[in-house]
Amino acid sequence: MDQKAIATELNRFISRVTRNLPIRHIILFGSFAKNSGRDDSDIDLLVLGDFKTNQINDPTRALYETYCDLNSKHQLHVIGLNVDEYENKTDSITLTSIRNTGKTIFLAQNRI
């Protein structure tokens, strides 16, 4: 797997979604976070932000509308959550797995 190509795709995604959305943290999870991604693997991302305070009711949809026209070799599977939902939700197997094996690829600095 070409790590440089994956990094380029991730950087394009990060640039796009952080431009106009209140993004605080992006976590790569799944096969690429475990360095086992293949050519046919999708890229799994959890995007955390201050969506409620910016009156965004469906963060996953808002994210999709922002990145859907990116030309990417891999399909992007993106979950959007408010930061407080991520921090307070303890009964989700998916979020527990992300907390244990996910890799931070973006962390906003001095974001209010």
Digit-coded pLDDT (tens) for 4-56: 888 999 999 999 999 989 999 999 999 999 988 888 889 999 999 998 877 88
Q: pLDDT at position 38, please?
A: 87
Q: pLDDT at position 65, please?
A: 92
- At 4, give phi and psi (nearest 5°): -65, -40
Query: For residue 75, what are its two tokens?
Result: 């399909």
Question: Residue 54 carries which side chain, given as an amino acid letter?
Answer: N
Domains, the chain, in order of start with CATH, read 3-107 (3.30.460.10)
- At 96, give phi and psi (nearest 5°): -60, -45
Place of tokens 């244990």: 100
Q: pLDDT at position 101, please?
A: 95
Query: For residue 27, what are its two tokens?
Result: 């976590």
pLDDT of residue 112 exceeding 70, the answer is no
Alpha-carbon span 43 to 32, nearest angstrom: 7
Three-state secondary-structure class, residue 106: strand
pLDDT (tens digit per residue) in 56-70: 889 999 999 999 998
Q: pLDDT at position 28, please?
A: 97
Alpha-carbon span 51 to 59, nearest angstrom: 6
Angle at 80 between CA 103 and CA 25, to 5 degrees: 40
- In the chain, helix, strand, coil percent, each to 5? 40, 25, 35
pLDDT (tens digit per residue) in 95-108: 999 999 999 999 99
Q: How confident is the model at residue 1 (pLDDT cuts 50, 70, 90)?
A: low
